[in-house]
Structures are given as structure tokens and as C-alpha cells.
Amino acid sequence: MLDCTPKEMKQRHGAVINPAKTCQPIGAMYAALGIHSCLPHSHGSQGCCSFHRMHLSRHFREPAMASTSSFTEGASVFGGGANLKTAIKNVFSIYNPAVMAIHTTCLTETIGDDIPSIIKSAEVPEGKLVIHANTPSYQGSHITGFSNMTKGMVAYIAETASPVKKEQANIIPGFVNPGDMREIKRIVKAMGIKFIMFPDTSGVMDAPMTGKFTMYPQGGATVAQIKDSGNSKITLALGRFASSDAADALTKKCQVPAAVLKTPIGIKATDALLLSLRRTFAQEVPAELEEERGQLVDIMTDTHFHFHGKTVAIFGDPDVVTGLTEFVLSLGMVPLHILTGTPGGAMGSAVGSFEDDINELLTQAGISANVKAGGDLFTLHQWIKNQPVDLIIGNTYGKYIARAEDIPLVRVGFPVLDRSVHSYLPVVGYRGAMRLIESISGALLERADRDAADEDFELVM
Amino acid sequence: MAVTEKQLQEILDQYPAKVQKNRKKHILIKDGEQGAQIIEANTRTVPGIITNRGCAYAGCKGVVLGPLKDMVHITHGPIGCAYYTWGTRRNKAKNDDPSQYFLNYSFSTDMQESDIVFGGEKKLAKVIDDVVEIFHPKAITVSATCPVGLIGDDVGAVAKAAEGRHGIPVLSFSCEGYKGVSQSAGHHIANNILMDKVIGASDLEEAPGKYAINILGEYNIGGDSWEIERVLKEIGYTIVSVMTGDGTYKDLRNAHTAELNLVQCHRSINYIAEMLETKYGTPWLKVNFIGVQGTTDSLRNMALYFGDEALIQKTEEVIAREVARVEPLLDQYKKICDGKTAFCFVGGSRGHHYQGLFSELGIETVLAGYEFAHRDDYEGREVIPTIKTDADSKNIPELHVTTDERRFRLKVSPAKMEELKKKIPLSYYAGMNAEMKDGSIIVDDLNHFETEEFIKILKPDIFASGIKDKYVIQKMGIPAKQLHSYDYSGPYAGFNGAVNFARDVSMGFASPTWNFIVPPWQDEPLLSGTVNEEGVA
């Protein structure tokens, strides 16, 4: 497996080998699916749209509906206005969504189609909404695309009704699974705080089996909710890369102050979320959540010897990797290689440096490690060849390295294509942290069992 | 159950006028009495219709080139295109030369904004240099993506210069996603370059064994090709090359030495099949290794072509043994499948091939179609002269090969060819429509709306298509079988494949899961009790 990957690292001059990211539009498509009764639309040639739908379907094992402008060579040369106008007409008359959320591809960005003017001259039925985001694939990654579409929701939909803000929070959950979004909602509800979450793919990308196909399932943030986000007291942007641009836009457009927090993975980031809610709304953390936290600490204490001092490589999307790194440090583990494919900050955005964030966490823990933004799995594999680890945490693509180097893999993040259930259950919050410990400790103990000599094979561990 | 013209019109009536006019030509109800029915195919996709189609890049790099395991395939573009074709099609290949096995890798130039603005040629050259320095491949392909054509990167010139620098072939493919109207353009583009630069590039003049064949348009999904090869090798064939499942650059160069080319997927490889016949005089035979009957017929047709008594006898021996072995296994599954109906909507060939296998299990295909096939795949190759290339496809280059004076050899005398053509599909494909039953629906570029509408009317027991449809269909409580990825199972080709397929399809029907869809309380009133009848002593 991966036999052609040499241990010796040479500087490359442009080749990306085994990427740790994909391109913007899939993130925008995923975000758009988090609006209720919305059909994402890919303005480009149809290959992109098919690839993105397929990939989402493989990760979630759910339908991922989206339409496309289906460019031909002629449109590529003369502009895609006609294609998009035809698409808008067809989508509303055949598929009747409440909202059509358009994103672009490298094709339409290169030819410079002016989406707002095309929308203006298109036939949009009364009461229907068309929003858009520019998502050039040659900038950033799928996380950037998610961020751009979320920002687009603010730009098109959010409104201020009165200068007095309501006692409610906006939550932008970032590029996480519906299971995570459900858990974040549960936590905020338990705090007794009113909130609006957008985008929200719970109920869409984890919809139940009922014997009927519903093109626009129950879930998703409604247009009314997103509109009302302009009246909230605060926006909590969970994960800087995916969420802070939209929160900033909401501050600028509707004067809603923003707090940028980490994706609440692990005990510290979840504490930070609760503290932020507690301060903003003067609401005490309920016994229910304090009990969960105590259970988590209990588990961490009981099992610390399963993972303390174990070395780990972590890769994936920047917000999730940052949360995971903080959590494994709080477990006493030693992250040696930390990598994301997403470059430092989305272009033109205020998002800071992934590497700085991680290095700060590591410095506090007194650990030095390989840290890279804009890296690929070829680099990660070479790092591991030079400095082996006990565990890899990352998405499904890590399985090649895991097999090549005989290292257990814990699947967290996007995409997970070769296991099921993962998208229904959270990795965020205290309960998500419990689940992560179960996975991490389970993977390490399975390995210990497999490798143990008969006389060292333990019944109780 | 069939769809009536009236029902079909009711479906079409829901479309805006322009869409209706368009889609009407892509749908037909099979009616044998009408003779040759014309279907429109290989035309542009209706924007916003929710098509299942992909692009030319997918057809070129994803389908035809990607399986060639000893070449490094570089995608020149932003990251998505390379990423989505990394490990997603299950074209299996054995790692028999670990230093030249690249299937688990994805190579990209990861174009950035500056590359769009200032051009990506320099970066591409550097990426090729990186790849040569790290991997030392024997050959490289470079596939273009959407923005490459627009910004005017001369990928051909970069590739040629790299060939000069490194002394290895660097093949470039202008398969920008917007070319043509579907994956099909990409097949054609890939065929042209492979024919021009690879096939026949070796010094080998004689095939390395008797009954030498190439297997064309077989991508070894889930190990299909291996199952086919198992049987062919046992009968005594020498397999020169497979295009391109578990295929190698090395073997492809020898493809000119074969005596016969087998064509499994007509759509993706018929260009090369034709050109091999023109250039080297090698006839091609349409085969179908899906299903016991298809496999048996194909093996017999091959034996007839070579006409060798020993070969014919060995063929019959192997068929008899294999059929005797798999029939009892299939019988247990037939009991589960018998009397059921299927939709079969797959890319450009399986929509036809699997109908035979379904039928062997007692499942009738009531709707079938292709994403991107051309009229000849529906109606048979005789319609080719009447097909007009429209504006959207006219820029796909045609490669015109001529007879190779030194290597051209008639494999079979013209008289014998004529005689054989009456018995077996030599250089001929009759298309899907011919084999479909009257009343069944044939749909080209089926979209989401039509999928739902036809399901409402026909209520199929199983829907065979792809990943984008799968969960839509299953939500309706109907088993969905992926016939691109085989739902991560396989092989489905050949004798063993038929058994695997029957097992998997039966599993889909027999799974207890379907019984749980309706919660038990939905069939029970909230309040229950007994009515006391007063006054009854």
C-alpha cells in the first residue's frame, strides 16, 4: 500500500499528492442543504455538481439534491447567463423549492459570469428566493465554500427589524455533521436560551426513513429564521474557518456582535461555549449539563492510562482538527503531526492562521510537532514514516496510510465514506467527547489485544 | 404493467413547454410494430433538470485513463477534479510492481488564483518534474479541467517539453469538463490519444500466444475483468491487453498484435475498436459477459470466430462445467427474485447488459436507459450514418487512422468475415432497444423528476442505478442496487459474477429492514378498550 511514497522528503514545487481538502462548491452545497426547502444550484458544467452530490451521498448515505446549469462549450465561451436563467425557470416550475442557492465553479469564476445581474433578469416566481455565493474552486477549500455560502445567506436574507436586539443567539455551527448540529442545539436548549442555527442540516442529511421520498425534508433553517438572525443579541461562530466570515457579515449588516469560538470538540471548547452563553444571557449552566461534564471528567480519569502519552497524527478540516488537537492534549496524548489541506486563511477574509492556533496549543502543552496548513496526505505519510505514531485521527482517506504503516485509524471529520452511523452521532459537546474517548481508547485497546502474546492477553483492561 | 402514451403525456405536461418539447424526444415506449423507433440521445442537458450526468473529464480521466495502474495521472486544475476521481470508481488492479503502482494516489496541480490569472503552464511543468523525481514513472498522463481551456494553457506543449526533459511519454488530454455534453466526450478524447500515442508503440510483432485477444471497454469494477479472464485463460486464450481495468501502459502498447478485440462497453471504446480494425485489420466482436446466457453466448461467438475445433470443444467443456456449477446456486435466488420488476438506468452500457441477468433471475426490466449513450447504443450501429453531430459535440476531435502498411494483416478472409457476420456480432452492436419488451420505457438522460413519476406508475421492485439515486429510491421503500459501484461488492461479470449479483439482489429483497418502515402505532388507535354492553345478563 502506497509503496511509492519514499521516507526521504524532497521539496515539491507544486504537485499536490493525495489532497487533504477538496474544492469550494461542495461546502457551499452542504451549507445550502442546511436551509429548509432549498435546492442548491451549481452554476458550472454538470460534472462538478454530480461529483459533489455523489460525495455528500457517500458520506451521509442520504440523497443530496442539487441542480446545475450544465454548461456546454458555447456557454463557456459566451457566458452562462442563458443557462442560468433557463435553470432558474426550470427549477422553480419542476422542483418548486422555497429558495434556490446558487454557487459557482472554477469555470464560471474564470469566465466571470455576473450572477447578481443574471438573477435580476431571471424569472423568479413571486414569494420565491434566489441567493448566491461566489465559490471559486481555485481559492481555499470546501471549508471556504461553506463559509462563502453561509455569508451569502446573511447578505441576501438577514434583516434588522428594530434597533433593540432580541434575547436570542445565532449559532453558526460550521462544517460539521447533522449529529453535531443536533447536539449543539440540545446544549443551547438545555441552557434555556432561544437561538437560531444556520445552516442546519439536521433533519435534512440525516432524515428518517418513512417510505416516502421528501425532496425538501423537515429540517433546515427556515428563511424566516435566517431573516430574524439580524435581530439577535449575539452570533456565536463555531470554528473560525467555516463560520467567522458570516458572523462578521452579520455584524456589519445588522450590528449583531459576534463571538468566534472553537468548534466545541472536547472539554475545554465545550466549556468555552457554555461560558460564552452564560455570560451573554446571564443564564446559569443547568445541572443536566454539569452532570454530563462530570461524567466526562470521570471517564477521562478512569481511563487516562489507555491513552496518556500515546502519540497521534491528526488531519482534516482546520476547525475540527483544532478542536481535536486541543482535546487529545487534554487527554494527555502527544500529537506529533497535525495537518490540514485548507490554506491558512480564506482569501480576503479575516480568518487567522491555522498553524499559529495549533502551535499556541502545543506550546502551552510543551510539545513540539509538525504542523502544516495547505498540506497533503503525501506529506503526512512521509512525516509518519520518519516519526511513527500510535494512532491516526482523520477522515477515510487516512486508511491508506493506516494500512501502509499498520497504525489504527479513528475516523473523524469529512468525509467518512467507509463506515456508517458517524454522521448521526456527535463528536461535539461533552457527549461527543465521550464518544471520541470510546473510539480512541477502543482503537488503542483493540490493537493491544491483537498484538499481545497469549500470556499477556488481558481480560480486564 | 406498462406506461401508456396518455400517462407519458401527463408526465410531460408538467414540464415548461420548451422542456417538454425537448424531453419528449428522449423517451419512448417500445413498440415492435413500429419497427425502428428513433430516440434522441447525446444532446445537451436541460439546465436545472437534475440530471445524473457527469463531464468529459470524468469520462476521460475517471473512466478510461484512471485504471491504467503504471502511469501517473496528473489532473491539471483546481483540487476538486483530482480529489473526486481518487478511489471512487472501483477499477481494481493488482499491485504486481510496487514501484510502478499508482492507483492509490491522486495527483493534482492544485491551481490557485494566480495560476488562473497568469497561466498554469509553469506550474504544470514543475509538477511533472516533481512527479518524475519522486516516482520515476514509465509514463504520465495530464488531464485538463474546465478553467484550463479558458485561460489558454497549452497543455500539449508543456507535455511535449516534459517528454524531452525526462525521456518518458507524457500524454496530454484536452478533456475540459464543458466539452461535449457528458462523460461520452471524454471517452472519445481518451480513445484518440491512446490510439495515437500508445497502442502499437512497442516493437512486438507477434502476440505472445495462441488465440490472442484484447478486452476492450472493461474496467474491472469489483474484479469483473479477472472473472472474465479466469474463464478465457482456461479455455486457452492469450490476453494481450485489457482496456483499461487492471491495465498497464506496458500491455496497451502491444494491443496491435491481437487477433480479435472483444468489446464489452461499446460506448466508451468503440472508437479504438474501429480504429484497430482500420489500422491493423483486427476485427472486433461485441460481447456481453454479464449473465450466464450473455457469457455463454459470448464465449461461443469467440470460439466460432477462431473456428478451431479444439477451441470450440474446450469452450463447450468449460461452459458445461461452469453452468452446472452455478445453476444450483442461482436457483435458490431465483425463488426470491421471480416475478419482480426492475428499472435499469446506468451510464452508457450496463443499462442494456444487466437486463439479461435480471431476466435470468425472473426479473423483468420495465424501464431502462442511459445517461450518455448515443443513438447507436439504443438503436444499433446501422443508424450511425444518420446521426448528425450537433453544435455541442462538433468540437470533439475525430482521429482518422489509416492502414499501417507494415503491420496490417487480414485476420480473417473477407468471405469468411461475411459468413461470420451473419452468425455473430462482428464489428456490430444491435443496441439496447432491440432486446426490450414491447411496452417497456426507454429513457435517455433520465432526471430526478421523471424518476419519481415513473416510479409512481410502474412501482418497480428494484431500481438499478447509481449513488445519487440510491438513497432517493430507498427512502421510498424500494431496494436500490448500484450498478456503477456494485455497492462495493462484485465481481458481477462472468459465471461467478452472476451468482454474486443474484445473492446481492436477493439480499436487497429479503432484508427484514423493509418491514420496519411503518411504526406499529400507526396501525393502532391511540385509545383502545372493550365496550361494556349494559343490560346483558
Q: How far is CA B453 from CA A261, A372, B9, in A?
A: 46, 50, 12
Secondary element (H or E) of residue B419: helix B414-423
- Tell me the residue length of chain B: 537
Q: Is the ipTM of this complex over 0.95?
A: yes
Residues A238 and A191 in one domain: yes
Contacts of B46 in chain A (CB under 8 A): 70, 86, 90
Instruction: Give the span between the Cα atoms of A203 and A216, in whole angstroms.
Output: 10
Residues A275 and A338 in one domain: no
Q: Are A29 and A428 in contact (CB under 8 A)?
A: no
Given CB atoms, is A61 within the 8 Å cutoff of chain B? yes
The DSSP 8-state label assigned to residue B221 in this structure reads B
Packing angle of the helix pair A142-156, A24-32 (nearest 10 deg): 40
Mean pLDDT of the region B25-37: 95
Cell of residue B482, nine digits: 448500484
Residues 346-375, chain A: which have Cβ within 8 Å of B? 347
Residue of B121, B143, B178, B516 for testing the chain A interface, max A β-carbons within 10 Å: B178
Q: Kindly report, residue by residue over B143-202, the tens digit of the pLDDT.
A: 999 999 999 999 999 999 999 999 999 999 999 999 999 999 999 999 999 999 999 999
In Å, how far from its chain's centre is CA B84? 18
Residue B143 burial (CB < 10 Å; 0-12/13-18/19+)? buried
Q: Kindly report, residue by residue over A406-434, the tens digit of the pLDDT.
A: 999 999 999 999 999 999 999 999 999 99
Q: Residue B159: how many CA atoms within 13 Å on its side-chain side?
A: 22
Domain ranges of chain B: 56-177
Helix, strand, coil % in chain A, rounded to nearest 5: 45, 15, 40
Phi–psi pair at B106, nearest 5 degrees: -130, 125
> Across the beta sheet with A370-372, what order do the strands follow?
A370-372, A334-340, A311-316, A391-394, A409-411
Mean pLDDT of the region B22-39: 96
Residue A340 counted as domain residue: yes
Cell of residue A43, nine digits: 452554476
Contacts of A95 in chain B (CB under 8 A): 48, 50, 448-449
Identity (one letter) of the amino acid at B131? Answer: V
Residue of A21, A107, A118 for testing the chain B interface, max B β-carbons within 10 Å: A107
Given CB atoms, is B512 within the 8 Å cutoff of chain A? no
Cell of residue B50, nine digits: 437534475
Please report, for the domain that includes residue A267, its CATH number.
Answer: 3.40.50.1980
Cell of residue A68, nine digits: 446545475
Q: Are A417 and A396 in contact (CB under 8 A)?
A: yes
Q: How far is A300 from chain B (nearest CA, A)?
A: 37
Instruction: Give the span between the Cα atoms of B233 and B318, in whole angstroms.
Output: 11
Residue A73 counted as domain residue: yes
Q: How far is A364 from chain B (nearest CA, A)?
A: 34
Instruction: Give the span between the Cα atoms of B396 and B398, in whole angstroms.
Output: 7
In Å, how far from its chain's centre is CA B101? 23
Contacts of A373 in chain B (CB under 8 A): none
The DSSP 8-state label assigned to residue B466 in this structure reads -
Out of A106, A136, A213, the one facing B77 most closely (by C-beta) is A106
Residues A214 and A124 in one domain: no
Given a cut of 60, whether residue B464 has pLDDT beyond it is yes
Q: Which residue in chain B is spatially nearest to A75 when comparing CA positions?
A: B178
Q: Which residue in chain B is spatially nearest to A70 when comparing CA positions?
A: B47
Out of B56, B124, B477, the one facing A211 most closely (by C-beta) is B477
Residues A268 and A357 in one domain: no
Given CB atoms, is A53 within the 8 Å cutoff of chain B? yes
Q: Are A316 and A414 in contact (CB under 8 A)?
A: yes
Catalytic residue, chosen from B23, B26, B76, B187, is: B187
Q: Which residue has the cell 461452459?
A: B319
The CA dihedral of A295, A299, A302, A308, to the nearest 10 degrees, is -140
Question: Residue B198: which of B70, B63, B349 has the closest Cα?
Answer: B70
Final residue belonging to a domain, choices A103, A130, A156: A156
Mean pLDDT of the region B74-89: 98
Identity (one letter) of the amino acid at A99? Answer: V
Instruction: Give the span between the Cα atoms of A342 and B227, in whole angstroms.
Output: 42
Out of B18, B79, B178, the one facing A107 most closely (by C-beta) is B178
Instruction: Give the span between the Cα atoms of B457 and B4, in whole angstroms.
Output: 10
pLDDT classification of B336: cutoffs 50, 70, 90: very high
Residues A444 and A330 in one domain: yes
Given a cut of 50, whether residue A348 has pLDDT beyond it is no
Given a cut of 60, whether residue B239 has pLDDT beyond it is yes
Out of A16, A107, A207, the one facing B147 most closely (by C-beta) is A107
Given a cut of 70, whether residue B111 has pLDDT beyond it is yes
B362: three-class secondary structure by DSSP: coil
Given CB atoms, is A218 within the 8 Å cutoff of chain B? no
Contacts of A96 (CB under 8 A, 6+ apart): none
Packing angle of the helix pair A429-451, A318-330 (nearest 10 deg): 70
- The strand ranges marked E within A44-112 are 67-68, 99-104
Residues A390 and A278 in one domain: no
Given CB atoms, is A16 within the 8 Å cutoff of chain B? yes
Phi–psi pair at A148, nearest 5 degrees: -65, -40
Residues A259 and A335 in one domain: no
Mean pLDDT of the region B84-96: 97
Please give the pLDDT value at position B226: 98
Please work out, in degrees rounded to the nearest 5, the angle formed at the alpha carbon of residue B78 by the alpha carbons of A358 and A342. 10
Contacts of B486 (CB under 8 A, 6+ apart): B90, B221, B222, B492, B504
pLDDT classification of B529: cutoffs 50, 70, 90: confident
Residues A281 and A297 in one domain: no
Residues A444 and A296 in one domain: yes
Mean pLDDT of the region B93-105: 97
Out of A6, A16, A213, the one facing B476 most closely (by C-beta) is A213
Residues A348 and A439 in one domain: yes
Q: Are strands A370-372 and B341-346 parallel, antiparallel or unpaired?
A: unpaired
Residues A300 and A424 in one domain: yes
Residue of A45, A59, A85, A111 for testing the chain B interface, max B β-carbons within 10 Å: A45
Question: Which H, E and C letters describe A292-350, residue by residue?
Answer: HHHHHHHHHHHHHHHHCCCEEEEEECHHHHHHHHHHHHHCCCEEEEEEECCCCCCCCCC
Q: Kindly report, residue by residue over B255-313, the tens digit of the pLDDT.
A: 999 999 999 999 999 999 999 999 999 999 999 999 999 999 999 999 999 999 999 99
Please give the pLDDT value at position B359: 98
Q: Are B67 and B219 in contact (CB under 8 A)?
A: yes
Contacts of A239 (CB under 8 A, 6+ apart): A173, A174, A175, A176, A262, A263, A318, A319, A320, A322, A323
Give me the domain span that covers residue A449.
292-453
Q: Kindly report, residue by residue over A371-417, the tens digit of the pLDDT.
A: 999 999 999 999 999 999 999 999 999 999 999 999 999 999 999 99
Out of A72, A109, A137, the one facing B80 most closely (by C-beta) is A137
pLDDT classification of B530: cutoffs 50, 70, 90: confident
Residue A12 counted as domain residue: no
The DSSP 8-state label assigned to residue B387 in this structure reads P
Mean pLDDT of the region B509-528: 93
Final residue belonging to a domain, choices A286, A304, A320: A286
Cell of residue B255, nine digits: 494491443
Identity (one letter) of the amino acid at B197? Answer: K
Residue A316 counted as domain residue: yes
Instruction: Give the span between the Cα atoms of B388 and A263, in whole angstroms.
Output: 56
Contacts of A344 in chain B (CB under 8 A): none
Q: Kindly report, residue by residue over A182-215, the tens digit of the pLDDT.
A: 999 999 999 999 999 999 999 999 999 999 999 9
Mean pLDDT of the region B129-144: 98
Q: What's chain A's average pLDDT?
A: 97
Residue A7 counted as domain residue: no
Q: Are A178 and A28 in contact (CB under 8 A)?
A: no
- Identify whether A40 is preceded by a cis peptide bond (ω within 30 of 0): no
Cell of residue A364, nine digits: 502551552
CB distance B49–A90 less than 8 Å? Answer: yes
Q: What percent of chain A has pLDDT over 90?
A: 97
Given CB atoms, is A223 within the 8 Å cutoff of chain B? no
Strand partners, A339: A315, A372
Please give the pLDDT value at position A351: 57
Residue B89 among the catalytic residues = yes
A268: three-class secondary structure by DSSP: helix
Phi–psi pair at A438, nearest 5 degrees: -60, -45
Q: Are B106 and B82 in contact (CB under 8 A)?
A: yes
Phi–psi pair at B74, nearest 5 degrees: -95, 130
Residue B81 among the catalytic residues = no
Q: Kindly report, residue by residue over B361-399, the tens digit of the pLDDT.
A: 999 999 999 999 999 999 999 999 999 999 999 999 999
Contacts of A254 (CB under 8 A, 6+ apart): A158, A159, A160, A229, A230, A231
CB distance A4–B150 less than 8 Å? Answer: no
| Neighbour tally for B387: CB within 10 Å | 13
Residue B187 among the catalytic residues = yes
Residue ranges of alpha helices (H) inside B196-260 are 224-235, 249-252
Q: Which residue in chain A is spatially nearest to B110 when comparing CA positions?
A: A16
Q: What percent of chain B has pLDDT over 90?
A: 96
Q: Are B82 and B58 in contact (CB under 8 A)?
A: no
Q: Which residue has the cell 481480560?
A: A459
A375: three-class secondary structure by DSSP: coil
Please give the pLDDT value at position A347: 45
Residue B253 among the catalytic residues = no
Residues A93 and A197 in one domain: no
Q: Are strands A16-17 and B107-108 parallel, antiparallel or unpaired?
A: antiparallel
Q: How far is A95 from chain B (nearest CA, A)?
A: 8
Cell of residue A437, nine digits: 474517548
Secondary element (H or E) of residue A403: helix A398-405
Q: Kindly report, residue by residue over A11-39, the tens digit of the pLDDT.
A: 999 999 999 999 999 999 999 999 999 99
Please give the pLDDT value at position B528: 76
Identity (one letter) of the amino acid at A308? Answer: H
- The strand ranges marked E within A124-261 are 129-133, 166-172, 194-197, 232-238, 258-261
CB distance B48–A21 less than 8 Å? Answer: no
Please give the pLDDT value at position B200: 97
Q: Which residue in chain B is spatially nearest to A83 when comparing CA positions?
A: B47
Please give the pLDDT value at position B2: 83
Contacts of A211 in chain B (CB under 8 A): 475-477, 517-518
Contacts of A140 in chain B (CB under 8 A): none
Given a cut of 70, whether residue B536 has pLDDT beyond it is no
| Neighbour tally for A285: CB within 10 Å | 16
Q: What percent of chain A has pLDDT over 70?
A: 98
Q: How far is CA B28 from CA B44, B345, B439, in A?
A: 18, 14, 9
Given a cut of 50, whether residue A346 has pLDDT beyond it is no
Question: Could you tell me which CATH class the domain B56-177 is placed in?
Answer: alpha beta
Q: Are strands A370-372 and A334-340 parallel, antiparallel or unpaired?
A: parallel
Residues 147-186, chain B: which have Cβ within 8 Å of A? 147, 149-151, 176-181
CB distance A26–B392 less than 8 Å? Answer: no
Q: Are B246 and B69 in contact (CB under 8 A)?
A: yes
Instruction: Give the span between the Cα atoms of A375 and A315, in whole angstroms.
Output: 9
Question: Residue A226: which of A203, A200, A263 has the closest Cα?
Answer: A200
Final residue belonging to a domain, choices A265, A286, A307: A286
Out of A13, A71, A72, the one facing B129 most closely (by C-beta) is A13
Contacts of A94 in chain B (CB under 8 A): 14-16, 19, 48-49, 449
Phi–psi pair at B349, nearest 5 degrees: -150, -35
CB distance A48–B88 less than 8 Å? Answer: no
Catalytic residue, chosen from B55, B258, B464, B480, is: B55
